[in-house]
Structure 1
Amino acid sequence: MNQLPELTLYYAAVATDRLSDRGNTIYDEYIYESELEAVASSNNYEIATWAIINMAADCGHYYPNKVLCTPQGKFILTEIYEEDMSGEYIVNDSLYRALGAPVAFSEAVEYHLFWTKGSELMGIVEEAGVYKAVIKNANGEKVIIRGG
């Protein structure tokens, strides 16, 4: 089995003196590929979460052919294709999904997180071929999604 290298990313958001049009503080955001790099920056940092690595992917920052390790589990870059008007398939989206998890399971997790405002992925684990996602809704309720 071809094992991909694992990478833990570190994230920092540093307040600036700039304000948005709505009066909110604008932050400079940083992603570091090692803890040594994060420490050297002198910024307060944390291990990048699943939400952060997907936010980075939305902005075009990808780590292909690597397994990203987060507090919620291990994730791999997945490209979502759609057919264009000429019949060719093009990349429509790129996001990180749980390593080895079935597509239907990943889609169920993404669907819940997208449509349940304020929900947060707490973790994904695999036990005996069954994947389990624990999600915390904004009201504190925990939701379990299983698949595999």
Structure 2
Amino acid sequence: MENTSIDEKFLGLTLFALVPNITEFMNAISFALYGNIVLSLEIGSAYALQVALLQIPAMTAFSAWCNWNKVEEARFTFTLIFPRWDIMSVLFSVFLLTYTYQEGKSNYFKGSILILSYLVLMAGFYCAPVGQTASTFGF
């Protein structure tokens, strides 16, 4: 990663977030094509719930355990203090999830909104300055 111009966060949000779960996403798409929108939406929200309840606490605990009493490694410790752009993208994602769930059905317009919003968020993460922390945003 040191020899490339791609930010680690951008790579994590695109490649590492999509590739391991491609089978779940393909199942959700196939269920949606056969008219079972509720099950398709449930697959997507279950994945988000898995990340929120299992993966993030596990990463935080593992990072704190591995970097215990290592002052020089403290900048690599995963904390729950995020930059402003990350918080705004999470709030925007929650808004989009409630917008999609509110009727319990979907159409091409909602699907295109979700795809375009993902592309806008990825463009924002790609164009964001590299190495910003919460302290550079004034927190």
Fold shared per TM-score above 0.5 = no
* TM-score, L = length of structure 1: 0.27
Q: What's the TM-score once normalised by structure 2's chain length?
A: 0.28
More strand by share: 1
The structure whose RCO (Cα within 8 Å, separation 6+) is larger is 2
More helix by share: 2
